[in-house]
A and B are shown apart, each in its own frame.
Chain A
Amino acid sequence: MLFQLLLNGLIAGSIYALIALGFAVIYKTVRFFHLAHGVVYTSGAYLAYTLVIQLGVNSIVSFFFASILAGIIGVGIDRLVYRPLRKQKAANLVFLIASFGVFIFIQNLLQLIYGAQILTIRTGPVKEGHHILGAVITDTQILILVVCCALFGLLWVFIRRARLGKAMRAVADDPVAASVVGIYPEKIIFASFALGSALAGAAGILISLETNIEPTMGFNAILKGIIASIIGGIGSIPGAVAGGFFLGIAENLGIWKIQAGWKDSIAFAILIIFLLIRPGGIFGVAVEKERI
């Protein structure tokens, strides 16, 4: 039982981590809570549905296509909403509320197009899972874990080694100094929205292989993503991954003793405890004093 819960936590955690990772990539350069990230994740799932079920495209091809389209949606949100706000030098809360507006708008647009009922992308009969140490894991779940870990690794190498990744870190540290040495911040923000949103899209596609999809799924996802990235230290890439796994495992171990309905409360209780006691997260990332 314990091992099964741990395993469930690990799988839920890998999705949370992927969302948190995309959120962190964006947060690093723009420094506000991009709530609409959750609806990009939902869009990823629905795009995969359209490609695989409605158009009958090969699933691996549609995985890439849907991720890229999710990236384009993210960039579009930035261009249409956030960039004008940046020009006005708007306050963080204005960004937050505007982002919420985008969220509500796109979520209901999806509901208008696809309907409010749940959809499923799974085709063919359900295969029995593999038994490991008394726990059951399905092929899909193994796939989710493997793809997530591969994406974490690739992103880590990209941020550390690639020229664009280094430029992103430079803008994150000091946008003015970065523009002095010839890095144009708007270009980097563009790139971080594209990359972060593609990661959210990928998370949406992966979860659509495992569970049903519905228009409202993004809200819970982005909340868990934000909680995970605060637990790990906001804006930190390895922190987002660690926070995601921590949250997934804590939630699933929590429902070992408490009813499943309390799952969200567990997540938020963890968030409030972290905000009050250790706002820098597990690794204690320095948070600007005036912000918290």
Chain B
Amino acid sequence: MEYLLHILVIAGIYIILTLSLNLILGYTGLPALGHAAFSCVGAYVSALLALNYGISPWIGLLIGAIAASLMGGVIAFPSLRLKGDYLALATFGFAVIVYSIAKNWVAVTRGPLGLPGIPTFSIGGFQLSSIWSYLILVALLVALTAFLLNRVANSPFGRILKGIREDEIATESLGKNVNRHKVLVFMIGAFFAGIAGSLYAHYITFIDPSSFTIMESITILLMVVFGGMGSIKGSFVGAAILVILPEMLRFLGMPSSIAAPMRQMIYGLLLLLLMLKRPQGILGRYRFR
């Protein structure tokens, strides 16, 4: 039972990450390949505030998300000049740099040793350490994220984002500031990714750079593409399936030296088949052009 609830918590965190990347990738059509960098910033900022200054995880969550959002603003800059593959590569580069800062800035992040003993969330002296209470917290935040991002996507602001995706020049000719919207969408997406990172840090109570590798960014990308670009429901489906499916392999009773590469091979194959047969994802409406 514990294990099942744990999987649900992890799935919830991934749903927040997938939703936030979907806003950038699916709604605005900007191929950002370094989403784990944002959750890395959120996790480390919030964990370090709690460990070094004793700041409540709730405030840490907010400050972490804001820090991730500022980082998103910085990463948005290449998107003003680059498109397609080149933008994907540049955001990828930023993610590698953020990862190696987490790994090499030992004085602050303790490098590969990681940060143990991160405090959990608490409400009025009651520690949210039981997995049930944590699941409720994550579920609430998932609902909030889905609600807010749905509102963003269906607002006039969201229509401009879709306009940028469909035809940037036409959007600009209608007097919309494309550059400003690109920076904003990165900041919003990064904000929610920061929340997810902080949730993860205070749940596991230990973080190290290996949780925020490039592979992690690719997994989130896969969840968005698999579920469907530009679809809120799709993000739920994509994240849930790709968290739960590999766990099922655990029950086939293979030794981990076989199970680990098998799981990755299934990821690779899924990605491949998806691109060949249904590039817009299960519930998606938008295709790359």
Residue positions of A touching B, CB distance < 8 A:
32-33, 81, 84-85, 90-94, 96-98, 100-109, 111-112, 115-116, 219, 223, 226, 230, 259, 261-262, 264-265, 268-269, 271-272, 275-276, 279, 290-292
Q: Which residue, A92, A93, A116, A291, has most C-beta atoms of chain B within 10 A?
A: A93
Contact, CB under 8 Å: B89 / A98: no
Q: Identify whether the interface residues of B are mostly helix, strand, loop, or mixed.
A: helix
Asked if B103 is at the interface (CB within 8 A of a chain A CB), the reply is yes
- B257: which A residues are within 8 A, CB to CB? 115-116
B86 interface contact, C-beta 8 A: yes
Report if B189 contacts A (CB, 8 A). Answer: no
- Set of chain B residues within 8 Å of A292, measured between Cβ atoms: 81-84, 86
Residue of A nearest to B214 (CB): A219
What's the nearest-Cβ distance from chain A to residue B105, in Å? 10
B271 close to A100 (CB less than 8 A): yes
Q: How far is the CB of A96 from chain B (nearest CB, A)?
A: 6
Given A108-B265, A268-B93, A275-B78, does the pair A291, B83 have CB atoms closer than 8 Å?
A: yes
Shortest distance between the CB of B169 and any CB in chain A (Å) = 10
Chain A neighbourhood of B83, CB < 8 A: 290-292
Complex interface: chain B residues within 8 A of A269 (CB): 93, 97
**Chain B residue contacts of A261, Cβ below 8 A:** 100, 103-104
> Can you list the 5 inter-chain pairs with the closest CB atoms, starting with the nearest?
A101-B271, A104-B268, A105-B268, A101-B272, A268-B93
CB neighbours (8 Å) of B77 from chain A are 276
Q: Are B100's CB and A105's CB within 8 A?
A: no
Q: Which residues of B contact A (CB under 8 A)?
A: 31, 77-78, 81-86, 88-90, 92-94, 96-97, 100-101, 103-104, 214, 218, 221, 225, 257-258, 260-262, 264-265, 267-272, 274-276, 279, 287-289
Residues of A contacting B214 in the complex (Cβ-Cβ under 8 angstroms):
219
Provide the residues of chain A in CB contact with B272, threshold 8 Å: 81, 98, 101-102, 105
Contact of A90 among B104, B221, B275 (CB under 8 A): B275
Given contacts A108-B264, A262-B104, A292-B81, contact A94 B86 (CB under 8 A): no
Q: Chain B residue with minimal CB distance to A277?
A: B81
B269 touches A265 (CB 8 A): no
A98 touches B276 (CB 8 A): yes
Chain B nearest CB from A27 CB (Å) reads: 10
Are A272 and B287 touching (Cβ within 8 A)? no
Which of B85, B94, B100, B287: most chain A Cβ within 10 A?
B85
Question: How distant is A38 from chain B, measured CB to nearest CB, in Å?
Answer: 13
Q: Determine if A226 and B89 form an interchain contact, defined as CB atoms under 8 angstroms apart.
A: yes
User: Shortest CB–CB separation between residue B213 and chain A, in angstroms?
Assistant: 10
B175 to chain A, nearest CB (A): 22
Complexed CA–CA distance, A85 and B214 (Å): 25
Q: Is the CB of B85 within 8 A of A93?
A: yes
Instruction: Return the chain B residue nearest A215 by Cβ.
Output: B261
